[in-house]
Each structure stands twice: as structure tokens, then as C-alpha cells.
């Protein structure tokens, strides 16, 4: 008699996070208006969007702190509201408010959380990796904002979660601390942890994210890998010169089909087919009108450009 094939637990094959048609209202106001997204295991997804776009509301529903008005959310194949007790030990949540007792010492606090999980990471190693060894015996209330953020991340990670929710994890950190966090998140991804992070730092998203989702007014306005969002082609010529150049005159020197913009005073971009001839035309025109060109380079769209085009706003506006 042949034995039956082993049954696969459907939840273990599920993506780390799956959101379909998510809606969340506050009274008549629709804060989240039909968001869809999928986060595979072992990947980092960056959720970007202007203030009030609906990022935190979405993350809080995924964490099981709020219920959706419509749509489905599955975290590790489970319903974060209904199955919150089963999910809690499997996910890491970095709370904005920190979540640590003000009078506890840093080392004690982390050891306490570690003691609650079956197979914790070494608290000592985590504190060292996050640059917190020197404050092991310091009371939580005496930590700087950046140190408290790092402790909060350590608390989210110490139980070896399968999925990590991070709402602006490096906001307010100095560059050195930010790098420590980024290295730790990359290591977590290598260990198969899925990470959903919201951020206003485009360089953070560019550096870490396998997948970027941009939301505005509660809706997804773009979704894809960085390469998919940015496109691979060199599409503009950037240069610096005195501010107030008459760009219409530059364009008359170029063949039809180019456009130009002074993005910030004295910083210009010429968009179109950037050929050696087009470059020479622009610099020759500048020379003709006695303008010194500096920082001339051929570039491609950045995440910043895509974000600005889609939301009409600079990232922190
Ligand atoms: N409890 C609430 N009651 C009423 N409105 C709320 C509530 N929570 C959030 N909102 C509103 O929902 C919208 C989305 O808020 P949310 O915090 O999700 O935005 P966000 O994208 O995280 O913004 P930020 O980048 O500023 O953190 C905002 O207009 C906010 O004022």
C-alpha cells in the first residue's frame, strides 16, 4: 500500500503578507482606499507616500491593531485580527512609542523579551550589532531618541520573527546608526525574514527594498522593483550653471523632442535622447552665451523623480 503524500500546510506556503482591496474609513474619510500588495518571504518591501497617505493605517491593520472595513489581509497565511494570538510570536513590530518600560535598564528589557520567546537571538549580540553595548545598564528613559529607536528594533527582532513591520525605523537616527540598522535588516532578509517598512527616506528604500509601493490618498499609485519603477535608460543630461538660464533658447538649439527644467535654482535637466551631439549642443550653447557649466552628467530617473511625478510632492512635503 502506498502511503499518502505529505500534506502541505497551506499557511506555510503563503506569502509573508498578502493584502487585497484593503479599505479603512474614519467616519466619512477614507484613509485606505483599496490597497493591494504582496510581500514574499525573505524580501523587503518599502511603502512610500506623503504624510497622511495611509501607510501607518495599513501597517496597523497588518499588525492586528485595527480591523479593515473591507478587503483581506493575510500575514503568514493568517488573519492578523482573528489569529492575533497565533501570529504575535511570529511577527516583529517596532512601535513608534518604543514599548519599553521607562525605568528598566536596556539589557534587562531586551533579556525579558528574549525570555518570552522559544528561540531568541542573543540579546548581547543584538545590542552590540545595533551599537547599544555601552548603554546596556542605562535606564530606557535616559536613552537618546535614536538609541530608543534602536532598542525598539532590537525588541522587534530578538524573538526571530518571520515577518517584521517597521514604521519609519530610522527616523531621527544619525547616519552611523542608520547604517547599523540597514546592515541588520539586510542580514534579517538573508535569514528569510520578510520586512515591510514605511519610510520617507528614498535612499533607504533604494538601498534596501526589493519591492517599492508608492501610495497617495489611500491608493497605490506605483508598485514594482526599483528597476521597474525607474526604468534602465539614461534619459537626461544634468548640469549646474548660474540660475535663471532661458531654457527655451537652449531647446531651440536642439532638435525637436527635447524638454528642459530648472529643478532647483542653478540645477538643470535636459530630457530626451542624450546623444554625444545633444551634449555638445548644450555645452556649446552655454559657451556661446558665456555661461560656465559644472557638474555635467548623463543620468537616469531616480526614485525621487518617480515619486515627484506620481505624487506631485517632494517626499517630505
Ligand atoms: N484614528 C483616526 N481617526 C481619524 N483619522 C485618522 C485616524 N488615524 C489616521 N487618520 C487619518 O488617516 C489618514 C492616513 O493616516 P496615516 O497615519 O495612515 O498616514 P501616513 O501615510 O502614515 O502618514 P505619515 O507619513 O504622516 O505617517 C490621515 O489623514 C490621518 O489624519
ipTM here:
0.96
CATH 3.40.50.300 placement within the chain: 17-229
- Domain 17-229 indexed as CATH 3.40.50.720: no
The neighbouring-strand residues paired with 39 are 17
Q: What pLDDT, on a 0 to 100 scale, did the predictor assign at position 313?
A: 64
| DSSP letters for 62-92 | HTTSS--SEEEEEETTB-TTTTHHHHGGGEE
pLDDT per position as a tens digit, 233-259:
667 899 999 999 999 999 999 999 898
pLDDT per position as a tens digit, 70-125:
999 999 999 999 999 999 999 999 876 667 788 889 999 999 999 988 889 999 99
31 neighbors 218 (Cβ within 8 angstroms)? yes
What CATH number should be reported for the domain whose range is 232-300? 3.30.70.1560
What is the band of 20 on the pLDDT scale with cuts at 50, 70, 90? Answer: very high
Identify which of 56, 60, 213, 317 to mutate to test ligand 1's pocket (most ligand atoms within 8 A of the CB): 56
CATH 3.30.70.1560 placement within the chain: 232-300
What is the band of 279 on the pLDDT scale with cuts at 50, 70, 90? Answer: very high
Q: Whose CA is nearest to atom 4 of ligand 1?
A: 26
52 lines ligand 1 (CB under 6 A): yes
Amino acid at each position: 500500500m502506498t502511503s499518502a503524500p505529505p500534506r502541505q500546510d497551506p499557511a506555510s506556503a503563503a506569502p509573508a503578507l498578502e493584502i487585497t482591496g484593503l479599505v479603512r474609513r474614519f467616519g466619512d474619510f477614507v484613509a485606505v482606499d483599496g490597497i493591494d500588495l504582496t510581500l514574499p518571504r525573505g524580501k523587503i518591501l518599502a511603502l512610500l507616500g506623503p504624510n497622511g497617505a495611509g501607510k501607518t493605517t495599513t501597517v496597523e491593520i497588518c499588525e492586528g491593531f485595527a480591523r479593515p472595513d473591507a478587503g483581506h489581509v493575510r500575514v503568514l497565511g493568517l488573519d492578523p485580527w482573528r489569529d492575533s494570538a497565533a501570529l504575535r510570536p511570529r511577527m516583529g513590530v517596532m512601535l513608534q512609542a518604543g514599548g519599553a518600560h521607562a525605568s528598566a535598564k536596556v539589557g534587562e528589557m531586551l533579556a525579558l523579551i528574549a525570555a518570552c520567546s522559544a528561540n531568541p537571538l542573543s540579546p548581547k549580540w543584538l545590542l552590540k550589532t545595533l551599537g547599544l553595548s555601552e548603554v546596556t545598564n542605562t535606564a530606557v528613559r535616559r536613552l537618546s531618541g535614536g538609541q530608543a529607536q534602536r532598542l525598539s528594533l532590537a525588541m522587534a527582532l530578538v524573538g526571530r520573527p518571520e515577518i517584521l513591520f517597521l514604521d519609519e525605523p530610522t527616523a531621527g537616527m544619525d547616519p552611523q546608526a542608520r547604517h547599523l540598522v540597514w546592515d541588520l535588516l539586510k542580514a534579517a532578509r538573508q535569514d528569510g525574514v520578510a520586512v515591510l517598512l514605511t519610510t520617507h527616506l528614498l535612499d533607504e528604500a533604494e538601498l534596501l527594498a526589493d519591492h517599492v509601493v508608492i501610495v497617495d490618498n489611500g491608493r497605490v499609485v506605483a508598485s514594482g522593483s526599483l528597476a521597474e519603477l525607474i526604468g534602465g535608460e539614461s534619459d537626461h543630461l544634468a548640469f549646474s550653471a548660474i540660475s535663471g538660464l532661458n531654457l527655451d533658447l537652449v531647446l531651440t538649439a536642439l532638435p525637436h523632442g527635447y524638454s528642459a527644467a530648472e529643478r532647483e535654482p542653478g540645477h538643470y535637466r535636459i530630457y530626451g535622447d542624450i546623444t554625444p551631439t545633444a551634449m555638445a549642443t548644450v555645452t556649446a550653447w552655454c559657451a556661446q552665451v558665456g555661461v560656465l557649466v559644472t557638474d555635467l552628467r548623463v543620468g537616469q530617473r531616480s526614485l525621487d523623480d518617480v515619486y515627484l511625478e506620481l505624487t506631485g510632492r517632494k517626499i517630505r512635503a
